[in-house]
Amino acid sequence: MDPDDAILPDLPRGPALGRALRGWRALRRVKQAHLAEILGCSQPSVSRLEAGERAPSPREAATIRRLLAARLDSAGDRALGELVSRSPAPMHLICDATHRLLALSPARAAYLRAPASELMGRSTWPSATEELAAAEARLGELGWHEAAAPAVEGITRAGGSAEIEIPASRWRWVRMPLSDGRFARIVETLGPA
């Protein structure tokens, strides 16, 4: 198991997880039986996962998180990363499932306490404040995992980690589908709290 899995927020639950798994399978033309092999469970277990009738085990959750992990593979996805990287606004792009950093603007890089090159591809979740963790926990209630996910805004106190500073600020999250059906999240600072 990846050590980051222990510190990441929960995967979507119930029907939202089922939709994510069905979408992943459909885009890759993978049958439930093959996903069962990947997860190390039975086909009926996958069916119950997709129906929202059972939660994944910790081992299955780690594998699902890797399957759903966003990558900037296509030209369009890389262009999104470039737009974020060139933005004058303080923003960054993360994988919605793993919180791994995919791109960041120069204004966001100013809040890093470590070189950006060391943080790319690593989870930003260890830097989350209590307010950000609480907002993450409410995403399912807000329809975040639906096809037409709403933007979510909030306020956080200052915090962070040894690697990333989080100023007291107003923020917005926007969920973006990538070309392969996985999701990324644009995290934007809107101004001081």
User: pLDDT, tens digit, for every residue of 30-81?
Assistant: 999 999 999 999 999 999 999 989 889 989 988 988 888 888 989 999 999 9
Given a contact cutoff of 8 angstroms between Cβ atoms, the answer to whether 70 and 20 are in contact is: no
Alpha-carbon distance of 124 to 119, in angstroms, equals: 8
Alpha-carbon distance of 124 to 112, in angstroms, equals: 11
List domains and CATH numbers for the chain.
Answer: 3-68 (1.10.260.40), 75-192 (3.30.450.20)
Check residue 100 and report its DSSP letter: B
Instruction: Take residue 140 and report the two structure tokens written for it.
Output: 């399912």
Provide the whole-model pTM.
0.80
Kind and range of the H or E run holding 177: strand 169-177
